[in-house]
Each structure stands twice: as C-alpha cells, then as structure tokens.
Structure 1
Amino acid sequence: MSFMCHVSDALGNKWSVIHNKTQLCALKGSTVLMNISYTHPTTVTVTKTFWVIDPAPDKELTDLRDDPGYSGRVEYLEGGKNHFSLRLSDVKKSDEHKYCFRVITNVENEKWLGKPGVTLGVTDLQLIAPAEVTEGESVILTCKTTCSLTDPTFIWYKNTHDLTTNTYKINKLHLQRVSSEDAGSYNCAVRGSEHLPSPAQYLSVRCEFY
C-alpha cells in the first residue's frame, strides 16, 4: 500500500510525496530499502535532496550521510520521475528511527520535509523451543521476531542441514510424534537472508519406558 501527502503553495502548485511503505521491519545485519517519489512546485528548482532521522521543530535536519553512526552504510538512489530511495546496509538495532525525505530548493523559504516518513523496526531471529520432549509427543518450534517482516518465507535447519521441503509462510515448525532421530540442534532463517540465522537451540528427546 502506498501513502501520499501534499501541500499546496499560494500558486496552487503542490509538494507531494508517495511512500511505498511507512512502516518497515528489517533483520539485524540486513540491507533495507526505503522508497519514495515526490513532486514539487514548478516555480522552484531542487538543489539538494537527502534523508534525515527523527525530525523535530527544534532539531537541525542533518543529511544522514553526515551522521557518524551511519558512516559507510548509506546510499541514495535516484530514479526517473523524482523517485528517491535510501538504501541502508548492515542494519543495527540503533537504527530504529523515523526516516524522512528532505528537499532544498533555490528559494530560501522553500524547503520541504516529506511526511509521515518511514518508521523502521529492527529485529533478530530467536528460536523458541522446549529443551526436552518425550518420545511420541508433538512439538512446535517458533521462529520469533520483535516486529513483522514483510511477507517472509521461513527456512528451518537441523544440525546445519536444510529441512525446508515446503514453503513455510508461518513462523512455526511442527514435529509430530518425535523420536530419538528428531533430537539435534535447530535454527531458523528467512529466505533471502540465510546468512542471518537464529542462534541454534538443542532439542533433546527423552525415551519413554514402559
């Protein structure tokens, strides 16, 4: 879903911005892309475009590329029809901010901030599983995130071997009637970010004696 806002000037010309998404969730260590397209009044010439974080009335709006915390991780991508994107690599938990697009023009008082902006959440993967189950029981393993990833496909590993014979659109792996063969070290990942798996959890299967 796209989101659009606009502001009219005295001549009826408009500033406007369309956000591809206003909420994003990214895996820690991954690369995220924030996409917008914008229009501006024909009476001004755009001289500079950049991204800022957490804009506030009493805060200086600094180009994200000049922020030491983002050094070497920010890339701006410009496209036709005033498309402008921010590519942020090696995403960190400290990157959880609101990101807004900033425009400077040749007219001193014609500066513009694209709102509502993009709010970024950052998560890692945690595998939730019991430490031990009894032979014959069923168990559910859960690949947990702290924010909702966009249309993820989950991958499951046992002892570093890929278990994924089907496409998992939900973050749970069901093991029915477990046996000693199901014991082992499990972890999960998301398709496209296989290099960022969850920490492994060992599942122990206790034999049942009759």
Structure 2
Amino acid sequence: MAAREKLLSTALEMLGTGRPETVSINMVAKEAGLSWGSVQNLFGDSDGFWSAVVELIIDNGSSLWAEPQSPTVEGRVAEIAQLYRSILDSPYGVAVETVRAGLPRPLEVLEQTHPLTAASLAKLDDLWSSAFTHFFENLDGPALDTQRARDVAEVLPSALRGLRADQQFGTAVDFDRAHRTLVSALTGYLAG
C-alpha cells in the first residue's frame, strides 16, 4: 500500500475508536510504520493531513446514506433520525467527531490554525444539509417550508450528538424515549 493511503487508512482506523489521543499525527505515522517527515512530504503539514482525512471520510461515507421510504413527514423524520444515529455510531461518524474534538476550537480558531481542515468539515456539513433537504423531496401533501427544513437539518445532528454523548456518559436518560420525543417535536415543527 502506498504511504499516503497507508497513513489515511491508519488515521481512519485509529480515529474510529473514538480515543481523543488518536488525533496525533505522530501516533498515526508511527502506527503506519512511517515518520513525521513522510507526513510532511505527502500532506505539507497537519492541516493538509487532517483535511485529507476528512475528505476521505466524505468520499467513503456516502455509502452510509439511504433513500427515503416513507411518503410522510413523520416517517421521513423518523427515518433520517435513525439514519443519522447509525452514521454517528459508524467508524466514519466516530472519526469525524474525534477529529472535531481533538483539533482547536471554537470554529474561528480552527479556521485560523487549520483552514483546509475547517473548509473540509464545512463541506461535510454542507453535504449533510443538502442530503437532508433532498431526503424531504417528493413527499405526499404540501411541500415543506425550505427554511424550516434548514432549521431541522441544523438541529437534528446536534441533538442526536447530545443524546449520544449523554448515553456515553451513562446518564439516566431513556434514550429511546428521548429519540422518539425529538422525532415528534421536529415533525411538528416541519409540518407547521
């Protein structure tokens, strides 16, 4: 396997564990049997490397998406919420969240320190928003309000990440009930 592919696949594998310490290029390079110099030669710097990792996730993560089955708003909200929940639990979803958590924050700082990576993450977010809007096309009944669809496209991932974080921290929340409540509330908002 070529050095570039070896570094990227090793990074995805390590990030997919969710361990924060895996957002270390030195650790990834060592695990891949390469050096920091190899990373510099192939990617320029850490920004180029993490941007390439996110781009690989974008390229490979599209297989996680599905086409809607339900003809109703409520059915589609339930489908997309379950789909996104599955994506969050996938190695790609875990890798994205690990990168986001391990790199500088807030977004304004990341844009200054890692502009390529920030742009790749913004591209990923834009793709999610577009896929979300597409998911609600061709529904039975009246068309959805475009602004409300955008609102829900922003709220749903954050809410599901929050539920997932609560679950990982071992809180006493009934996650299935919270998931159903979220779907119901967002359905009501979308339906107007």
Q: TM-score, normalised by structure 2?
A: 0.23
Where is the strand percentage greater, Structure 1 or Structure 2?
Answer: 1
Where is the helix percentage greater, Structure 1 or Structure 2?
Answer: 2
Higher RCO (C-alpha 8 Å, min separation 6):
2
